[in-house]
Chain A
């Protein structure tokens, strides 16, 4: 009877091999699929993510913007000690609510996700996964000033400040704001999502485009001078009421300037003069320079979810959709003064100022300067990168002088800072509600000879001009950033 017993053992051996094979099938072959493809049935990944201390997000001065706190239940959850201050650039991260903004874009780092090999090593050594901390370039003091100033206008608006030399974002403020701590409540999130009047979750600095108005004349001037078609001394017709695309265009207060040079046209913000410049430069050149500044495509800000940013585009009606500057639908004269369906985000306009400030070189914008692991070792240090070479140094210098003149003796005098040379350009774009309700703008940089800060401010739907309403806010932000 020993032969059948021996065979029986082989059968058992085969059966156990099948058990091992089945275990390997689920633990190795189909493990990835089961772990990731069934979120509604398999909550393990979600639970594990709550076990991990998500990295801390810090401001440039080291202040904590977001941190993970271990609750009584044993799970970590997010807390935002600075409240609404950085709600827009940083966003939120809560289980069941999802993630937004920087929290979403840098999720892998915040979760401390490494390569599969490192993870296996950590498992063998029994090391717990720990999130990486992020150091950002955001400056709480300046952000506070920007947010308070925007709030005082009583309208919605946004402000962006960059270091033109690096592209580091110092301020990204949008009003109305929200407190990311409140997102913990599902009902609060739902209410904010359906608040059509305030839209507090919308980051107006990168998401809503507004007609940039006269601030866009800086772009037109860059194209005109850098292409060699014009010099700052060239003169154009600045009389009010000239026709562009068959429709008369007015200057402010219908003022006639006669033949004006480009410097005067910039200082007095003469609409018809710049419309003439634009028409003379032509659509292909305008398109080329706009693209160099970043118009037409989404910002190259990798620390922010792409789908939460808008490109600054020309969307005339007809055809009611974005078209390139070379399109036959584009009214080149009005485009050249920042109208004609042009929508620009405050980040885009801050980049226009920054490109001029940085001698024609536009730097890639970024929020995160350094990624640090739980032991304090630097995992990644962000190096500034050039986004594009927009114009020659000489062109940038000429534009700088024109913009300094705007603040010294033109429409932007209220942006002047005592003892500091400030360059800037105001903008006042008429809205659908007529010429009394405007979207006002100011873009600028300081100190003009060695710029450390470039800024764009916009306030929507106010009575008044950019020089009166936006310029003082820009001055406050620049002052705060220069004082450091």
Chain B
């Protein structure tokens, strides 16, 4: 079976999941704490949703069939699976949000198609690498000019829209690094002097790396967010390691990061608070002050779910019905803050239990596995570094947010890719997916894994 036919077949379970998921949410609508009042019946709307979803995916699939016929067949269905899972979960939290998310999903698929069609050869990106990295920095610094959200400068509010520029900045950084490291990887290793078994690369070539380290520290300082700095710097180290095979770079990098983070945490009260809340989420004082409220509730929600979960629509999210509809603050009325964005993993574990959480992590792991597979299959260094970098930043994002809500690492406001509500996140991740598929198409065609029908390789653009 050709790759594209496999992809088409693999989309069916995702569409089924949408139908079944919506049906489950409709059924639980009659329940009490689901947050949705209403009748206890299955609407044929669930099938409509499934149909529309399948239609959209098939459209995107046709784009792939026409343009990237050899690309990895599993990536897109896996992403679609995550997206529809997120859509059902968001619908269960708030129907209006789900409608917006569905719109973002359509726009995301459009952007996905546009990226693939216009950027047939992704290697043109190399030419604009400095422009891209500059754009990335500007995007990162943009929120500094707006009011902070939850004490961090991660998002900008424009009217009712909330944008997270960091989502796009992460792509810019990976593209730049892939290109830069392709040129310098040999020099970083061979031109360096070895001191005590550690390779010290020449400053000329390592300089930009230090710039990036400095940037993540500055990020930590300006954006006040440990998680996204960890995500950026982690991706940098992963790519550096892939490019040079030098573990010493990673070790030195990590030491630099944690050393820097220690200093910055002491200087920025907001980060110190976050660390305090992370260490003692149930401390009554921190809880009362609201610092550890979110994390404590996230952990309570997960404990409430247990092994099998409470079932779709059964998480206690809103207790306004209890206090008679008069809420003086969100802390009083909302059991779990930001359930549709930062804490969607906690809601999922609450409703589907450890089992649901494990399955979700498995889907992410499968995407990561496909991503690294593409990187290994790719022939040229830029493609390898790009695929590995994109996959690493994707995996790190999952690690940072899930680790945050499970108290593995300090809590951070990044989204769960494809699942959380959020336009920027959906769009950026679809572009990430498009890039991976483009690398995959070329790699598989060159390796002869694809459809078998050899086509003339498109030459480098220009």
Q: Which residue of A lies closest to B319 (CB)?
A: A47
Q: Complex formed: what's the CA distance from A5 to B296 in Å?
A: 37
Q: Give every chain A residue within 8 A of B406 (Cβ-Cβ).
A: 19, 22-23, 25-26
Q: Complex formed: what's the CA distance from A221 to B228 in Å?
A: 87
Q: Which residue of A lies closest to B292 (CB)?
A: A41
Inter-chain contact A44/B324, CB cutoff 8 Å? no
CB within 8 Å of B: which A443-458 residues: none
Inter-chain contact A1/B245, CB cutoff 8 Å? yes
Inter-chain contact B392/A6, CB cutoff 8 Å? no
Q: Mark A164-195, 1 if CB is under 8 A from B, else 0.
A: 00000000000000000000000000000000
Asked whether any CB of chain B lies closer than 8 Å to the CB of A234, the reply is: no
Cβ-neighbour of A124 out of B32, B308, B361 (below 8 A): B308
Inter-chain contact B243/A22, CB cutoff 8 Å? no
Inter-chain contact B316/A41, CB cutoff 8 Å? no
Cβ-neighbour of B304 out of A44, A73, A124 (below 8 A): A44
Q: Which of B32, B243, B287, B385 has the most CB of A within 10 A?
A: B32
Q: Which residue of B lies closest to A10 (CB)?
A: B372
Asked whether any CB of chain B lies closer than 8 Å to the CB of A28, the reply is: yes
Q: Give every chain A residue within 8 A of B311 (Cβ-Cβ).
A: 123, 126
Cβ-neighbour of A16 out of B296, B306, B321, B364 (below 8 A): B364
Inter-chain contact A24/B408, CB cutoff 8 Å? no
Q: Which residue of B lies closest to A31 (CB)?
A: B303
Q: Give every chain A residue within 8 A of B414 (Cβ-Cβ).
A: none
Asked whether any CB of chain A lies closer than 8 Å to the CB of B299, the reply is: yes
Which applies to chain A's interface (DSSP): helix, strand, loop or mixed? helix
Inter-chain contact B307/A28, CB cutoff 8 Å? yes
Q: Complex formed: what's the CA distance from A224 to B265 in Å?
A: 85
Q: Complex formed: what's the CA distance from A22 to B398 in Å?
A: 14
Inter-chain contact A38/B282, CB cutoff 8 Å? yes
B139 CB to nearest A CB, Å: 26
Asked whether any CB of chain A lies closer than 8 Å to the CB of B205, the reply is: no
Inter-chain contact A74/B365, CB cutoff 8 Å? no
Cβ-neighbour of A1 out of B31, B304, B321, B381 (below 8 A): B381
Q: Complex formed: what's the CA distance from A6 to B287 in Å?
A: 42
Asked whether any CB of chain A lies closer than 8 Å to the CB of B358, the reply is: yes
Cβ-neighbour of A15 out of B282, B354, B399 (below 8 A): B399
Inter-chain contact B368/A5, CB cutoff 8 Å? no
Asked whether any CB of chain A lies closer than 8 Å to the CB of B369, the reply is: yes
B319 CB to nearest A CB, Å: 6
Asked whether any CB of chain A lies closer than 8 Å to the CB of B335, the reply is: yes
Asked whether any CB of chain B lies closer than 8 Å to the CB of A34, the reply is: yes
Cβ-neighbour of B322 out of A2, A4, A47, A126 (below 8 A): A47
Q: A4-B242, A5-B384, A73-B322 are in contact. Are A16 and B349 (CB under 8 A)?
A: no
Q: A5-B376, A31-B303 are in contact. Are A13 and B365 (CB under 8 A)?
A: yes
Q: Which residue of B lies closest to A32 (CB)?
A: B303
Asked whether any CB of chain A lies closer than 8 Å to the CB of B388, the reply is: yes
A429 CB to nearest B CB, Å: 50
CB within 8 Å of A: which B402-436 residues: 402-403, 406-408
Q: Complex formed: what's the CA distance from A48 to B314 in Å?
A: 10
Q: Give every chain B residue within 8 A of A26 (Cβ-Cβ).
A: 299, 302-303, 349, 406-407
Q: Complex formed: what's the CA distance from A74 to B406 in Å?
A: 31
Q: Complex formed: what's the CA distance from A19 to B305 in Å?
A: 16
Asked whether any CB of chain A lies closer than 8 Å to the CB of B166, the reply is: no
Q: Mark A66-101, 1 if CB is under 8 A from B, else 0.
A: 000000011100000000000000000001000000
B243 CB to nearest A CB, Å: 7
Q: Give every chain B residue within 8 A of A124 (Cβ-Cβ).
A: 308
Q: Which residue of B lies closest to A96 (CB)?
A: B322
CB within 8 Å of A: which B348-384 residues: 349, 353-354, 357-358, 361, 364-365, 368-369, 372, 375-376, 381, 384
Asked whether any CB of chain B lies closer than 8 Å to the CB of A386, the reply is: no
Cβ-neighbour of A35 out of B241, B304, B365, B376 (below 8 A): B304
Cβ-neighbour of A41 out of B32, B287, B302 (below 8 A): B287
Q: A19-B402, A27-B354, A47-B319 are in contact. Are A12 and B282 (CB under 8 A)?
A: no
A261 CB to nearest B CB, Å: 69
Asked whether any CB of chain A lies closer than 8 Å to the CB of B238, the reply is: yes
Inter-chain contact B321/A73, CB cutoff 8 Å? yes
Asked whether any CB of chain B lies closer than 8 Å to the CB of A50, the reply is: yes
Inter-chain contact B300/A42, CB cutoff 8 Å? yes
Q: Which residue of A lies closest to B365 (CB)?
A: A16
Q: A1-B384, A5-B384 are in contact. Are A28 and B300 (CB under 8 A)?
A: no
A70 CB to nearest B CB, Å: 8
Inter-chain contact A1/B402, CB cutoff 8 Å? no
Q: Complex formed: what's the CA distance from A34 to B365 in Å?
A: 29
Q: A8-B241, A20-B358 are in contact. Are A74 and B399 (CB under 8 A)?
A: no
Q: Which residue of A lies closest to B312 (CB)?
A: A126
Q: Mark B339-354, 1 if CB is under 8 A from A, else 0.
A: 0000000000100011
Q: Give every chain B residue within 8 A of A16 (Cβ-Cβ).
A: 361, 364-365, 368, 395, 398-399
| Interface residue count on the A side (C-beta < 8 Å) | 47
A267 CB to nearest B CB, Å: 63
Asked whether any CB of chain A lies closer than 8 Å to the CB of B115, the reply is: no
Asked whether any CB of chain B lies closer than 8 Å to the CB of A436, the reply is: no
B320 CB to nearest A CB, Å: 9
Q: Complex formed: what's the CA distance from A131 to B34 in Å?
A: 20
Asked whether any CB of chain B lies closer than 8 Å to the CB of A378, the reply is: no
Asked whether any CB of chain A lies closer than 8 Å to the CB of B163, the reply is: no
Q: Give every chain A residue within 8 A of B33 (Cβ-Cβ).
A: 47-48, 51, 74
Inter-chain contact B388/A5, CB cutoff 8 Å? yes
Q: Give every chain B residue within 8 A of A74 (Cβ-Cβ).
A: 32-33, 37, 321
Q: A74-B32, A74-B321 are in contact. Are A44 and B316 (CB under 8 A)?
A: yes
Q: Which residue of B lies closest to A71 (CB)?
A: B321
Q: Complex formed: what's the CA distance from A342 to B311 in Å?
A: 58
Q: Give every chain A residue within 8 A of B243 (Cβ-Cβ).
A: 1
Asked whether any CB of chain B lies closer than 8 Å to the CB of A30, the reply is: yes
Inter-chain contact A23/B349, CB cutoff 8 Å? yes
Asked whether any CB of chain B lies closer than 8 Å to the CB of A308, the reply is: no
Inter-chain contact A27/B349, CB cutoff 8 Å? yes
A428 CB to nearest B CB, Å: 53
Asked whether any CB of chain B lies closer than 8 Å to the CB of A302, the reply is: no
Inter-chain contact B245/A12, CB cutoff 8 Å? no
Q: Complex formed: what's the CA distance from A93 to B170 in Å?
A: 55
Q: Which residue of B lies closest to A35 (CB)?
A: B303
Q: Give every chain A residue within 8 A of B32 (Cβ-Cβ).
A: 50-51, 74-75
Asked whether any CB of chain B lies closer than 8 Å to the CB of A382, the reply is: no
Q: A1-B384, A42-B300 are in contact. Are A19 and B399 (CB under 8 A)?
A: yes
Q: Which of B33, B302, B353 has the most CB of A within 10 A?
A: B302
Inter-chain contact B364/A120, CB cutoff 8 Å? no
Cβ-neighbour of A23 out of B241, B284, B354, B369 (below 8 A): B354
Q: Give every chain A residue within 8 A of B304 (Cβ-Cβ).
A: 31, 34-35, 44
Q: Complex formed: what's the CA distance from A20 to B385 in Å?
A: 28
Q: Give every chain A residue within 8 A of B335 (Cβ-Cβ).
A: 43-44, 47
Inter-chain contact B242/A22, CB cutoff 8 Å? no
Q: Complex formed: what's the CA distance from A44 to B284 in Å?
A: 18
Asked whether any CB of chain B lies closer than 8 Å to the CB of A3, the reply is: yes
Q: Mark A277-301, 1 if CB is under 8 A from B, else 0.
A: 0000000000000000000000000
Interface pairs (19), CB distance under 8 Å: A1-B385, A15-B399, A18-B403, A20-B358, A23-B406, A25-B406, A27-B307, A31-B306, A32-B303, A34-B300, A35-B303, A42-B297, A43-B316, A43-B322, A47-B33, A48-B316, A73-B322, A75-B322, A124-B308
Interface residues of A (CB under 8 A from B): 1-9, 12-13, 15-16, 18-20, 22-28, 30-35, 38, 40-44, 47-48, 50-51, 73-75, 95, 120, 123-124, 126
Interface residues of B (CB under 8 A from A): 31-33, 37, 238, 241-243, 245, 282, 284, 287, 296-297, 299-308, 310-311, 316, 319, 321-322, 324-325, 335, 349, 353-354, 357-358, 361, 364-365, 368-369, 372, 375-376, 381, 384-385, 388, 392, 395, 398-399, 402-403, 406-408
Contacts A8-B388, A26-B303 supplied; 14 other A-B pairs, CB < 8 Å: A1-B242, A5-B388, A12-B365, A15-B399, A22-B402, A23-B302, A23-B349, A25-B406, A26-B406, A27-B357, A28-B354, A41-B287, A41-B297, A73-B325
